Chains A and B, each alone.
Chain A
Amino acid sequence: MERARYQFADLETLPDQLFACLNEWMQAGNGLAEPLLAAQVALYEWMANLVQHACFGNRTPLVALELEVTGQGVRCVVEDNSDGFDLPAQLAQRRTALRPMPERGMGLLLLHATAMDIRYDSTGPHQHRLSFHIPVQPPPAGLDLTADAEGHA
C-alpha cells in the first residue's frame, strides 16, 4: 500500500474511522510503524480540532484524507469544507499560554511538534487544506508538556 484517499462525511464517527484507516496501514507491515504512529498523533489532533471547533455553516461537513507512504516517511493531506481559521495566530497564542501539564489547548502545538513541512492553505471558498510530512529520520521533536513555554518545569 503506498497511497490512499479517504472521505469522511460524518464528524461523529470520524475519529473511529481515522483510527481504522491508520490501523490498516500499520497492519500492512511496511516497516514505517513509527512514522505512522506519529502521523496518527498529528492527524488525530487535527481531526479532533475539526470536530470540536470547525465551523461548517449550513454545509454538510466533508473531510478528505490522503496518505502517502514512501521510504522517506509519511505524507498527509487533509482537506475540509470548513470556514478555516488562522493557524499561525492560534499556534502563537497557545505557545505563549502554555503552562506545565495543561489540561486543554495543546493539541495544535502537539501537531506542530510532531509533523514537519506543515502547510495550511485556503484552496477556494470554504475549502482548506492541511499538509505535512512525518519523516523516518529525524524522529519528531515532540513537545515537553511537563514544562512551560520557557522550558521551566
Chain B
Amino acid sequence: MVTLTAEQAGPETVVVRVGKALDFRNAADFKGLCQQQLDLGVNQFVLDFSDTGILDSTGLGAIFSVYRQVSPHGGRVAFASVSRPVQVVVQLTRTYKVFPQYATVNDATHPLA
C-alpha cells in the first residue's frame, strides 16, 4: 500500500496525502503519522484525498481520533480534493457536518486567499 505522507504547509498546518486507501490496514499508521505532527504543534490537518479510492469506517474512525485531539484547542481537520468514492462515504456518514471540504489542497491551506 502507498505510504501516507505529510507535508508542512504552515507553522501549524500539515497536508496529509492519504493515497489510494485509508482503511483498517493503515489506519494505525495514519494515526501515528498525525500524532507525530501533533507532537510538533500542528493543529490544522488538511487531508488530501485526490487519489483515494477507499475510505472505510476504520479509516474514518482514525480521522475522528485526530479531530478529537485538535478540535478542543481551536484546531481543525479539513478534506481536500475529495474523490468521488470518499464523497459517497462523507454523504453516507454525514461527516460533512464536521469536516470542511475544499476543492483543492491550496484552497484548504489558504481559505482566506
Contact = CB atoms under 8 A, between A and B. Distances in A.
Interface of A: 15, 19, 23, 33-34, 37-38, 40-41, 44-45, 48, 51-52, 101-104, 106-107, 110, 113-114, 140, 142-147, 153
Contacts of A19: 21, 53-54
Contacts of A37: 84-85, 88
Overall SS of chain B's interface: helix
Chain B interface size, as a band, is: 20 to 34
Given A15-B23, A37-B88, A145 B60 contact: yes
A82 B53 CA distance: 27
Given A15-B54, A23-B53, A45-B56, A103 B65 contact: yes
A37 B95 CA distance: 17
A134 to B, nearest CB: 11
Contacts of B64: 101-103, 145
B57 A38 contact: no
B12 to A, nearest CB: 22
